[in-house]
Amino acid sequence: MIFPEHCKYVGHASAKPCGDRVYFLSRYLLHETANGTEVLEVTPDPQGKGMMREIVATRVLATADQVYRFPDRVQLHDRTSLIRLALDSGYRCTVFTGVDEHTTFVLDPDLSGLLEIHVYDISPPRPNLSMCLRELEATGLFGDLSVRFCHHVRDIREIGAEVYPCRAAGFDRTLDEDPVSGGEHIAGCQTGLQLCSECYGKTITLENICPLSQVQEEPFIARCCRAEREGPDTWNGKSGYVVHWGANPATVARAVNNLVTEWKGK
């Protein structure tokens, strides 16, 4: 796969205001032909001086019939999304124009080179970690990390419990507002067990809904309501990172960066 690291390496060859010279940072050119756009790889003269340089080598990477121009403006820094869109196009090469009017392309798209991070969360209410990662990814924040996220969001309504953790999720009977006798089918976690023990002096049995209980793959990122679990950790024999239930976007972004750094440093 060829996916320029930055749009500054991609130039346009629709006109020749400086003759056959190119911008000194250019490594690729989008060349307009009678049949459409072709993509060229160029080598500016490394011994040249000034902003515009002579070309010492040229290679055609994709001919016009192999190139598709994506019709909509996109976030160029959301690199994983662009690879997926390029795969969906069915062409060897897809050219993208950014919301800022810069241009790039993806040639021979391939997701296999990206680090896959497994995200563990539950719903309802809003799966805050999973949604936060999707929103941050869409801004291009993780573009330089070469990662993709695989979301595992458990729908706790499918448990069919009589009692759930809190009213915020829209359930009729919950631990935060209703007393329990101990014989109910309860969905909860360690915090729920502790709550019942302190409030009712009872030991109850419940179905564990903590996202950490779902962990089956690594590296992972999961959220948990226990503050003492925050940070890098190992669950079910898998390595990953835990963020608090109410972690803000900045904290989530730092967690992803730390996770990638630690994982690639192994």
Token pair 């996109």 is found at: 74
58 band by pLDDT with thresholds 50, 70 and 90 = very high
Confidence bin at 70 (pLDDT 50/70/90): very high
| 13 located within any domain | yes
pLDDT digits (tens, 9 = 90+) for 3-54: 999 999 999 887 666 778 898 999 999 999 999 999 999 999 999 999 999 9
Least-confidence region, from 91-105, 174-188, 190-204, 241-255: 190-204
| Whole-number pLDDT of residue 17 | 63
pLDDT tier at 265, thresholds 50, 70, 90:
confident
Please tell me whether residues 103 and 119 are part of one structural domain: no
Q: Who contacts 132 (Cβ-Cβ below 8 Å, separation ≥6)? A: 247, 249, 252
179, HSE (Cβ side, Cα atoms, 13 Å): 5
Q: Is the pTM of this model over 0.85?
A: yes
Considering the domain architecture, whether residues 34 and 94 belong to the same structural domain is answered as yes
Amino acid identity at 24? F
Token pair in block for residue 219:
């590296």
Length of the chain: 266
- Return the structure tokens found at 70: 């994506």
Q: Final residue of a domain: which of 59, 92, 107?
A: 107
Residue 60 within a domain: yes
Do 186 and 82 reside in the same domain of the chain?
no
Q: Are residues 103 and 188 in the same domain?
A: no
Residues 94-148 have pLDDT tens digits of 999 999 999 999 999 999 999 999 999 999 999 999 999 999 999 999 999 999 9
| Alpha carbon distance 214, 127 (integer Å) | 14
Q: Residue 209 sits in which domain range?
A: 114-266
d(CA 239, CA 263): 9
**Domain endpoint, select from 48, 80, 107:** 107
| Mean pLDDT score across all residues of the chain | 93
Cα 46 from Cα 43, distance rounded (Å): 8
Number of structural domains in the chain:
2
